[in-house]
Amino acid sequence: MTMLDRAQCAALDAKDPLAFARARFDVPEGLVYLDGNSLGALPRATADHLSAVVRNQWGQDLITGWNKHGWVDLPRRLGAKIARLTGADQDEVVVCDSTSLNVFKLLSAALALQPGRRVILSDTGNFPTDLYMAQGLADLLGRDHRLELVTPEAVAGRIGPDVAVVMLTEIDYRTGRRHDMAAINRLAKAAGVLTLWDLAHSAGALPVDLNGTGADFAIGCGYKYLNGGPGAPAFLFVAKRWLNETRQPLFGWFGHAAPFAFETAYQPKAGIDRFLVGTPPVLSMAALECGLATFDDIDLIEIRRKSLALGDLMIRLVAQECAGAGLTLASPTDGGQRGSQVSYAHDCGYAVMQALIARGVIGDFRAPNLMRFGFTPLYVRYQDIWEAVAILKAVLAGAEWRRPEFSQRAAVT
């Protein structure tokens, strides 16, 4: 294979059909940001929009903003935008609460549909909060429900008649390994098992086809590839066939059939709104609205094509530049098996990542030894990958990552 150089990477940017989209973001000059899978970059429109919502809508119109500015419709309006990104219909998605809470709601709904089955099946690579929520729910129910974890490869073989629901994150947050959503959904359906997909590392990063693959339930995150800002609200999907069949146990007034009738007995609203609980967080939702607008007129096929090209480039450049430097690729080399990130194991991964960050290459670290690099095709350039690998090479060749301050763990890593 021929050697690649910086000029060739620049040439890839010059012909990138998504290059224009970087102008939709304020990415700091000089920074190589490869952590959009943890917190998306700031869309250029967000600050002004949020300021207008605060000063004009809240400040001037106060309580009347709920109707006048459609605050009350935000959960559905944003849900409809996410529906396009995830292969859902507009009335199947709503934005609300956190991914953790949405796991609880949909897992409760799924278990209620499966009275004779006790197993919540997931894999050991799933994101911990999903597993914790399942444990909390099982404890609370106290009816012998149990969370069973198998390796990602063993999930398909474990789907069977005692399983109520299989709950998986499509893209593994550590390695980027991708589950075959269509295959799992097919197996599950044949076995009478419901599916609950966590799209935290999928929505906005690659085309998702919830309805086309027959998914039952899904949840996802607003602050990663959807660029909604730190702690942005999450979303949830319920397939139409279940919408009015299911209930979730968090009976809040925004899920009530007539919230402003102030009745004492709960009656769920028809459709997806019954999955709402409390008052929608308008300011956070306004920021997420700008995050979602960064996808306007963008073809997800283009996103996926560039995402894989960025990942392939990273893998090739690391092999070319950093051979023998102690890095082990932890992600699938086959793009079809991979999400929008590439991870490397390194014995001192935490310290190396801190040294990279100090040099302006932002990735992150996941225990026990993984350095993650995420690719957001809307704003990451091919040159950024060159730059990241050049700095990674320099860091690994030098001694700076051995400095004591780089091995001290911060609160959030």
Site for its own copies in 174-233 (CB under 8 A): 174, 223, 229-233
Residue 279 touching its own copies (CB under 8 A): yes
Which residue in 284, 331, 343, 376 binds its own copies (CB under 8 A)?
284
Residue 355 CB, nearest distance to its own copies (Å)?
14
Q: How far apart are CA 66 and CA 153, in angstroms?
A: 48
Residue 285 touching its own copies (CB under 8 A): yes
Residue 294 touching its own copies (CB under 8 A): no
CA geometry: angle at 169 spanning 168 and 172, to 5°? 125
User: Applying CB under 8 A, which part among 92-100, 183-191, 202-210, 300-308 lies near its own copies?
Assistant: 92-100
User: Applying CB under 8 A, which part among 4-12, 186-194, 306-314, 363-371 lies near its own copies?
Assistant: 363-371
Pair type for strands 235-238 and 217-220? antiparallel
Contact, 256 vs 266, CB < 8 A? Answer: yes
Residue 324 touching its own copies (CB under 8 A): no
* 189 belongs to the catalytic site: no
Contact, 203 vs 85, CB < 8 A? Answer: yes
Q: Which residues are known binding-site members for pyridoxal 5'-phosphate?
A: 99-100, 127-130, 169, 198, 201, 223, 253, 279
* 105 belongs to the catalytic site: no
Residue 157 touching its own copies (CB under 8 A): no
* 269 belongs to the catalytic site: no
Contact, 233 vs 102, CB < 8 A? Answer: no
Which residue in 10, 11, 14, 140 binds its own copies (CB under 8 A)?
140
Between 71 and 344, whose beta carbon lies closer to its own copies? 71
Q: Which residues are known binding-site members?
A: 99-100, 127-130, 169, 198, 201, 223, 253, 279
Between 185 and 248, whose beta carbon lies closer to its own copies? 248
Residue 323 CB, nearest distance to its own copies (Å)?
29
Residue 144 touching its own copies (CB under 8 A): no
Residue 311 touching its own copies (CB under 8 A): no
Residue 172 touching its own copies (CB under 8 A): no
Residue 362 touching its own copies (CB under 8 A): yes
Catalytic residue among 127, 217, 344, 379: 127
Residue 113 touching its own copies (CB under 8 A): no
Burial of 405 (0-12, 13-18, 19+ CB in 10 A): exposed
Q: How far apart are CA 238 and CA 86, in angstroms?
A: 12
Which residue in 113, 150, 156, 283 binds its own copies (CB under 8 A)?
283
* 372 belongs to the catalytic site: yes
Catalytic residue among 35, 198, 216, 273: 198
Residue 364 touching its own copies (CB under 8 A): yes
Residue 326 touching its own copies (CB under 8 A): no
Catalytic residue among 25, 223, 344, 375: 223
* 306 belongs to the catalytic site: no
Between 142 and 404, whose beta carbon lies closer to its own copies? 142
Site for its own copies in 2-41 (CB under 8 A): 26, 28, 31, 33, 35, 38-39, 41
Residue 408 touching its own copies (CB under 8 A): no
Q: Of the candidates 315, 309, 331, 320, which has an alpha carbon nearest to the alpha carbon of residue 382?
A: 309
Bridge partners for 370 per DSSP: 345, 366
- The residues carrying an active-site annotation are 127, 198, 223-224, 372
